[in-house]
Structure 1
Amino acid sequence: MTQIGFHASHEQHAPSLLLRDVIRAEQIGFDEAMCSDHLAPWLTAQGESGFAWSWLGAALARTGLPIGLVTAPGQRYHPVILAQALATLEEMFPGRTWAALGSGEALNEHITGDPWPAKDDRDARLVASATAMRRLLEGEEVDADGPIRMHRARVWSLASPPPPLLAAAISPHTATMVAPWADGLITVGSDPAGVREARDAYRDAGGRGRVLLQLHISLESTKERAMAAAREQWAQATVPPGLMWDLESPTQFEAHADPTDEKLRQAVVIGADTAEVAERIAAVASGFDAVFLHQVGPDQVTFLDRCEAELLPALRELL
């Protein structure tokens, strides 16, 4: 059975409100949760970007949910620091946290002043970071001199067993590349064929562990309001994929977005009828171990009320 998770979007909501929301998500029956890890929002209209690791400690303490995040080692975060943060959470909350590692976006990483690497170099840095983090989480002392550098690094407060290191991937190419080292995969998208290709590529390459899906939805009282919320809050999803990882500011994303109705529908499940939205979610999420629902509209309270009364019961019937 597919687990149903709640996605906490730090780009869009103040950390205190997201804490309220994840507590409510557990109360109404969500199975688990995840959050983003940004320094900047995608769009100026989103207007937030709390520190995910501080929030995770509070969210894990105030709920009983497993909660993970997607993060990027190698530039904004040194992999040793990420390993220490993850080990500390896992030691306090055994079996309840995970990190999915990705190659990152210039939006968050450019702030170090270091050059933004080409994709092949980012991929090599990701593999080196994941390899070193796994060794650190197992208690080894690590030296490295390559895409990342470490000198006699060691994490002292450890969890046993160590927390899983998943991989974040959208394309089948990346899903294949991460399969040798990842403990699981998370992908994102609303096209059933597209997400299936990434999932199958990971499995075909020998990928182990759970395969997770993050799904953006805009469920509002009318179709017009659902489209308006997607356009205001998630227009960056219409930026061409070749640019997505290289833009450095919300204003650049706004300049390159093409938020027509057609483009938005390709990136977000948009609708007002709960049964219809549930069917579309189920069509995309079929075959995944968990689907994390991200309501892109700003009113999370009304969305969670509707999840309790309508959406979660409908999804339980379908997944």
Structure 2
Amino acid sequence: MTLVGFHASHEQIPPGRLLADVQLAEQAGFDAAMCSDHFAPWSERQGESGFTWSWLGAALATTEFTLGTVTAPGMRYHPVIIAQASATLAEMFPGRFWMCLGTGQWMNEHVTGERWPSKDVRDERLLECVDVIRRLHRGETVSHRGLVTVENAKLWTLPAEPPTLFQPTLSEASAARGARWADGIATINQPLERLRAIVDAYRDAGGDGEVVLQVHFSWAPTTEEAWAIARDQWSSNVWDTTTATDLTTAHLHDIGRAATDEMIGRACLVESDLGRLTARIREMVELCDADRVYLHHVGQDQRPWLDAAAEHVLADLR
């Protein structure tokens, strides 16, 4: 049976309210949760960005959920710090914490003042970071000089089992790379043929881990309300990966004004009919044979969605 999780969006909701939301999600019957790890939101309208690692400790301590986050070692975070933070959570909450390690976005990483590398360099840097993190999780003393530098680092507090590491992917190429090192891949809602191609690329490259699917959608009792939420909160999230990766919040906010309803509808499902929404999610889950699906209503008020999901969505998805 596919695990059905709740996505906690730090870019849209203050961390105190988001903590209450994830607790409500557990009460509503969700199986698990995941969250983002941003320094900045995608638009000024979203307007939030709490520190994920502080929030994760509170969320794990006040729910029984497994929880994961998508993060980017190498620039804003040194991989040694990510290794230590993740090892601590995995020691405190055995078997309940995982990470999805990506190459990052300029909107978050530019704050350190370092030059933003090209994509091929970021890909190689990620592999170095993964190697450093895995070695530290094994208890090794690590020195490394390459695209990142590590000097005589050792983690003194280790979990019994290290956290699972996923590769975030929006393309066949990154899915195939994930087969080289990751315990599985994580992707988002896309046209069905793209989803199938991504999963096939991962499997064809030898990947045999879990497939995680995150689905962005806007739901409200009326179609007009659902579209109003989507236009307000997700119009800056419609651009291709290259564009979204290399721009700041201010740039994305500005170009979001040019987003059409067709573009927004491709980036997130917009529905007022819960049966139709559930069917569309189920179709994607079945197509890519997802082991886990995390549901992200892009509105800033989560309670109406959580109440509706408890009554009309979760049982049908399972």
Q: Is TM > 0.5 for Structure 1 vs Structure 2?
A: yes
2:311 match: 309
1:296 match: 298
Q: Which one-letter code corresponds to 1:73 in the other structure?
A: P
CA distance in 2, matches of 1:228, 1:314: 26
Q: CA deviation at 1:142?
A: 0.7
Q: CA deviation at 1:87?
A: 0.2
Within a 5 Å distance, the mapping from 1:214-233 to structure 2 comes to 214-233=214-233
CA distance in 2, matches of 1:271, 1:178: 32
Q: Which one-letter code corresponds to 1:288 in the other structure?
A: A
TM-score w.r.t. the length of structure 1 is 0.97
CA distance in 1, matches of 2:241, 2:291: 26
Q: Which one-letter code corresponds to 1:121 in the other structure?
A: V
Q: CA deviation at 1:194?
A: 1.5
Matched, 1:205 2:205: yes
Within a 5 Å distance, the mapping from 1:1-319 to structure 2 comes to 1-248=1-248, 250-257=249-256, 258-286=258-286, 287-316=289-318
Q: CA deviation at 1:124?
A: 0.4
CA distance in 2, matches of 1:117, 1:256: 23
TM-score w.r.t. the length of structure 2 is 0.97
SS in 1 for 2:131: helix
Q: Which one-letter code corresponds to 2:291 in the other structure?
A: D
User: For structure 2, which runs of at least 5 residues remain unmatched after alignment?
Assistant: none
Q: CA deviation at 1:255?
A: 2.2
Once the two structures are overlaid, the 10-residue window that deviates more, 284-293 or 253-262, is: 253-262
Cα RMSD for the two superposed structures? 1.0
Q: CA deviation at 1:162?
A: 1.1
Once the two structures are overlaid, the 10-residue window that deviates more, 259-268 or 112-121, is: 259-268
Sequence identity (%): 49
Does the aligned pair in 2 maintain the 1:8–1:22 contact within 8 Å?
A: yes
Q: After TM superposition, what 4+ stretches of structure 1 lie above 3 angstroms from structure 2?
A: none
SS in 2 for 1:232: helix
1:161-200 Cα offsets, whole Å, 9 max, x none, are 2111111111110110121110111111232221222122
Q: Which one-letter code corresponds to 2:244 in the other structure?
A: M
Q: CA deviation at 1:259?
A: 2.1
CA distance in 2, matches of 1:146, 1:121: 11
Q: CA deviation at 1:209?
A: 2.1
CA distance in 2, matches of 1:12, 1:236: 13
Q: CA deviation at 1:256?
A: 2.3
Q: Which one-letter code corresponds to 1:251 in the other structure?
A: A
CA distance in 2, matches of 1:198, 1:69: 21
